[in-house]
Amino acid sequence: MREIKADIRLGDCVEVLRSFADNTFDLIVTSPPYADSRSKTYGGIKPDDYVAWFLPRSSEFLRVLKPTGTFILNIKEKAANGERHTYVLDLILSLRKQGWLWTEEFIWHKKNCYPGKWPNRFRDAWERCLQFNKSKKFKMLQDAVRVPMGEWAQTRLKSLGKNDVIRFNSQAGSGFGKNIANWLNRDLAYPTNVIHLATETGNKNHSATFPKSLPEWFIKLFTQEDDWVLDPFLGSGTTCEVAQEMGRNSVGIDIMAEYYHMSKSKIKEVDRFLLEESASYGKHNRKRNSHVHRKKH
């Protein structure tokens, strides 16, 4: 059985990454601590200090990313004193000065955003997914994230209990749901730069992570099997979990021991699951993500 590595490290990514060679990773996808949030875990970076805190780390990212690789940064500025913070804008400008290309800004449109009502503001239902690259010629596998089009497709998917078109696409691709494979093949369209996913709820293990489908989408788009994925702010381990399920090698780094152990145990679960699966089917199983979908159903 081919080995897929999920290397979980404890420490500050700026230090941990020093032991990694240049041009190692195909994709860096991460959701760093936002300014003034997760204050207990990362020392509570003030908005004014955020760029200065981030740049030494992104410098290492730049070094370990392959020339054809992509860096996806999921971030959103908070409101304070009636205004939006500008530190994310400053960060984009500073990253360009550091040598990054600001290739694209994807919008993650959150279907179930936090409720609330304020006299002069509506609920915040979106976050930025900023795409940075080292060169204009980066690897992008657009066909991997094509989605079915048409109204019938949308309602059919909803009736399956998953609003996630992408996931459904891979189900059909793995031979699960042959009844709809016909129109799937007929009506595939490329997505836009607006990603419409729900945040995951009911997850008691941790407080704040992105849903699995978000890193999954970018991993599909920017990597192939056996490629290397890095999440330097791993949090509860979502990125490595998804990467392993998808047959990508991954490195995840977090500074909090609590998150480190949580991620470690997740990866172990996946390993055990793959082993059982492999035994019961009595053969190699390249398409690991197929299990996951079957499980969820």
- The residue (of 4 and 131) whose beta carbon lies closer to DNA is 131
Give the three-state DSSP class for 129: strand
The phi, psi pair for 154, rounded to 5°, reads -60, -50
Give the one entry of DNA, a second copy, none that residue 169 binds, where binding means its C-beta sits below a cut-off of 5 to 8 angstroms depending on kind. none
Residue 286, both tokens = 């390249």
84 near a second copy (CB under 8 A): yes
Give the one entry of DNA, a second copy, none that residue 140 binds, where binding means its C-beta sits below a cut-off of 5 to 8 angstroms depending on kind. a second copy
Half-sphere exposure of 106 (CA within 13 A, CB side): 24
40 near DNA (CB under 7 A): no
80 near a second copy (CB under 8 A): no
210-269 residues in contact with DNA (CB under 7 A) are 210, 233, 235
96 near DNA (CB under 7 A): no
Is 144 exposed, middle or buried (CB count within 10 Å of its CB: 0-12, 13-18, 19+)? Answer: middle
Say how far apart CA 7 and CA 86 lie, in whole Å.
34
* Dihedral of the alpha carbons of 194, 156, 245, 252, in degrees to the nearest 10: 30
Report the candidate in 10, 77, 71, 74 with the shortest Cα–Cα distance to residue 37: 77
> Of these, 2, 19, 82, 201, which contacts a second copy (CB under 8 A)?
82
96 near a second copy (CB under 8 A): yes
Give the one entry of a second copy, DNA, none that residue 74 binds, where binding means its C-beta sits below a cut-off of 5 to 8 angstroms depending on kind. DNA
141 near a second copy (CB under 8 A): no
Binding site for a second copy (CB under 8 A): 79, 81-84, 86, 89-90, 92-93, 96, 101-105, 107, 109, 113, 115, 117, 119-126, 136-138, 140, 142, 189-194
